[in-house]
Amino acid sequence: MHCNRRLLASAITLMLLTFGDSATAQSRNQKIAVELVAKATATIASLGHNKRYEALNEALVRSQAVLIFPHLFSAGFVVAGARGSGVLLVRDSATGHWVGPAFYSLTQASVGLQAGASRSEYIVVVHSQRALDTLFRSGLRLGMDASLAVGPVGSGGGAAMTSDVDVFSRVKGVFVGIALDGAALHIRAPLAAAYYGQPATPADILVDRSISNPAGDALRSAVEVAAAQTDISPESAAAHREISLQPHP
């Protein structure tokens, strides 16, 4: 009898500890998600009103989706790496309004001539349905595709955009040689579950739209405002370059 009571007490203690750890993790992920959305809002609002990034405004007008990474940290010497988290929003083709966010992480490693460290903000504007479709599964790679890269956006005062995605960045610090080529994107399911209060895939959030969070209104509004700034100047072309999406092997 005493043995059974001790086993029962141990089982209850273990359950309580497990529940406590789960609740702590959920609370931590919710805080991370909320802060990430707030930082992404600040990034798109800042770059969207920056005259050097007018090509970003033009790209958003023609886009199907946008990935915002408000803080990528890069560091290394010879062997370098970059890591950060971001959010994905999709444009509703019927209304023109933005839906989301879904949550992602980005990791990248490179070998070559590079040195230093930097903190960067990246905005990845998605133009094609095939590129958007790949973002709904975890583990894809950003890479060059010469057949799709047709020159800088806005180089002709309104040039056609036929690449899968365009990348815009703002870098703080000094870093030579690091880029997003070869970077891997992964879905951050725990952040989505914490932000929406239940498990939610990118398709649930962005395609079926079966779940939403009013706390994302400021972010969605900031993207819409940035997309409304459509004047473009040749100087803004230097702020970005084109890449395509390829599945991660």
Chain mean pLDDT for the chain: 74
State residue 26's pLDDT score: 78
Poorest-pLDDT segment among 26-40, 46-60, 126-140, 230-244: 230-244
For residue range 52-91, what is the model confidence (pLDDT) as tens digits?
Answer: 888 888 889 889 999 999 988 765 544 456 678 999 999 9
Exposure class string for 142-172: b at 16+ Cβ within 10 A, else e: beeeeebbeebbbeeeebebebbbbbbbbee
pTM of the model as a whole:
0.75
Residue 158 has pLDDT above 50, yes or no: no
**Domain range annotation of the chain:** 8-247
